[in-house]
Structure 1
Amino acid sequence: MVGPQSEREDKVSLELTEEIIQSMEIGMVFKDYSGRISSMDFHRTSGYLVTASEDESIRLYDVSSATCLKTINSKKYGVDLVCFTSHPTTVIYSSKNGWDESLRLLSLHDNKYLRYFKGHHDRVVSLSLNSRNESFISGSLDRTVLLWDQRTEKCQGLLRVQGRPAISYDDQGLVFAIAFGGYIRMFDARMYEKGPFEIFSVGGDVSDANVVKFSNDGRLMLLTTMDGHIHVLDSFRGTHLSTYNVKPVPSNCTLEASFSPEGMFVISGSGDGRAYAWSVRSGKEVASWMMNSEPSVINWNWMNTDTEPPVIKWAPGSLMFVTGSTELSFWIPDLSKLAAYVGRK
């Protein structure tokens, strides 16, 4: 799997190529979930991964050793979205019980709730933490985006929206984006009360926004929508660069996509249950994968069924991405395939 921090930093300098993407295969899989994985997050510096599952569990993994360090159950509240704070064993997560939409700050070290954040009145569908301070934002089906400080239970700000919001901070924590209704609205985090300083169109796609994200260098952003579109834009000018299309997702699901560490590729789930990768430079699909961990088992009916898309995230500074469905899979390059590519050149 992935080595220590210094080794991960060395890997960042390697150029991620189409051949490396095409060689990716499952290197490790965890099959002990009794429900679908609904969310996962990598800690920025520690090499930890956290997952949330419909089996009402939160699990902490050490990526370098490919081991599950801890499982914590949230039977009373359920769990839907989960994000690391700056601390590698503290997370914020949303409920999934239908009667309490509070967000919770949880210590995974001793399984203690440190704080409750009450304010939403419907399911929280988007959550983003500021990497530079203690603030975070949450978006809900109650058509509000709330701004929070981890150190206090009281909401610090409220923005009303006209649809299902997708939200994200940029890597510097200076700007955040709110997407809904076919547009991405850009806010200065220090002066959000003044409204958006830019509004970018996504080409008339007015289907529900699912996920909005910035690339690591902040130059690009992506937006996924329920109709199965992944839009890539220049985050400074709002220029629409490309749109990738996958099978639409069921109405109760979220289509997730992720930039590779250097921002040159986009990987995404799909309503057909597969994962796909595209080159940002060419706009072309470069690879696709079935999510079943047994390569010999093929579901020939996948094209005719509505399937929940896998949760998908690229590991920071690493030649690895992770997918979550009813299994958690770590995808790494197959070195034997890469040797074959080199031999052909």
Structure 2
Amino acid sequence: MKMSLTELDDDIVRSMAIGAVFSDFGGKVNSIDFHRKDDLLVTASEDDSVRLYDIANAKLLKTTYHKKHGADRICFTHHPSSVICSSRYNLDSTGESLRYLSMYDNRCLRYFKGHKERIVSLCMSPINDSFMSGSMDHSVRIWDLRVNACQGILHLRGRPSVAYDQQGLVFAVAMEGGAIKLFDSRSYDKGPFDTFLVGGDMAEVCDIKFSNDGKSMLLTTTNNNIYVLDAYGGEKRCGYSLEPSPNITIEATFTPDGQYVVSGSGDGTLHAWSINTRNEVATWTSHIGVPSCLKWAPRRAMFVAASSVLTFWIPNTSNADSNPTDTEVGAQSEQPQ
């Protein structure tokens, strides 16, 4: 049975449990991304590996190693076997801060040079070949997959975090002092058309996401606060504080229906909140320490959390139905300890 996402409710969210575990990484997972339309997940980790998974069957499809540049931030392009990956090494000497990779034949299709320091935020436009990167060199660069040269640069203060809305018409840049600037993707050179301030919290934003319906924005700050903002007016809809996690930035995620937020915390727990009621609906032990990566799959009742171990979380329907279903993954992977 495929769990329809329109069916998500407090009980289903509460029932989420680990369905598959992959523990063969040689270091922390730096970032993860789901393909928008195919049942695929990609990871980039400190062991310089990029790994591609079939999430419907909990199966590792392919591993490639990138010893020269490393593998830091990663996101899918529109093609299911192509990704953009940011470099960890040799940024100063080569300037090859981003690579367009084919997982199909392990080829680098294009290098993108420009950033001189580590990239901390990366996202692909949902509608065309544009993508954006935010770097510790205090710049956001806008690129096109088909062209080597950078298409546009925004110079900012602090650590930038970037995100496109689901229609690809607007992008948000979060920066120092809790400021979020919204740009029209087609005319960003005219400057932001709106600026929001997260009142009372001056910490840097380490991650920003739009909900699928475009109505909400999710911010995670470096001091472990999570905020849900109204994407049109910038008002704070709700906020949550997590346990501190020294040296690990926490990632939070919307469910695809935009009704829930799921996040890790510094004490190794995972939490889910209902945005409408502002109440916490579930707490779980992560079983993997503090997860540095956490994302909900776009079209499934499933999320993934990762530290140096990757875990797939799915609704635990075993009490109600002992027959295997295609949301019960894990047959091909290690079972949780």
Q: Normalising by structure 2, what TM-score?
A: 0.90
User: What is aligned with 1:303?
Assistant: none
* Counterpart contact for 1:224–1:231, Cα < 8 Å: yes
RMSD value, Cα: 1.6
Amino acid at match of 2:263: S
1:59-138 alignment, distance < 5 Å = 59-97=51-89, 99=91, 100=95, 102-138=97-133
Q: 2:49 matched to 1:51? A: no
Q: 2 CA distance for matches of 1:292 and 1:71?
A: 24
Q: 2 CA distance for matches of 1:217 and 1:45?
A: 16
How far the C-alpha of 1:42 sits from its partner, in A, is: 0.5
How far the C-alpha of 1:114 sits from its partner, in A, is: 0.3
Amino acid at match of 1:141: M
Q: Deviations over 1:216-260 (max 9, x none)?
A: 110111110010111101101111111111023334x32211100
Aligned residue pairs total: 317
Most deviating of 167-176 and 317-326: 317-326
Q: 1 CA distance for matches of 2:48 and 2:67?
A: 6
Structure 2 SS opposite 1:156: strand
Instruction: From 267, 285, 299, give the equivalent of 1:317.
Output: 299
Q: 2:154 matched to 1:159? A: yes
Q: Cα distance 1:207–1:66, how it changes in 2: closer, same or farther (>3 A)? A: same
Q: Cα distance 1:109–1:151, how it changes in 2: closer, same or farther (>3 A)? A: same
Q: 1 CA distance for matches of 2:319 and 2:217?
A: 31
Q: Could you say which structure has the higher strand fraction?
A: 2
Q: 2:199 matched to 1:203? A: yes
* Counterpart contact for 2:163–2:210, Cα < 8 Å: yes
Q: 2:232 matched to 1:250? A: no
Q: 2 CA distance for matches of 1:150 and 1:17?
A: 39
Amino acid at match of 1:324: A
Q: 2:218 matched to 1:222? A: yes
Q: Normalising by structure 1, what TM-score?
A: 0.88
Structure 2 SS opposite 1:196: coil
User: What is aligned with 1:299?
Assistant: none
Structure 2 SS opposite 1:19: helix
Q: Which runs of 5+ in 2 are unaligned?
A: 322-337
Q: 2 CA distance for matches of 1:135 and 1:227?
A: 31
Structure 2 SS opposite 1:153: strand
* Counterpart contact for 1:141–1:165, Cα < 8 Å: yes
Amino acid at match of 1:325: S
Q: Which runs of 5+ in 1 are unaligned?
A: 294-306, 340-345
Higher relative contact order (CA 8 A, sep 6+): 2
Q: 2 CA distance for matches of 1:254 and 1:29?
A: 22
- Seq. identity, %: 50
Q: 2 CA distance for matches of 1:273 and 1:165?
A: 26
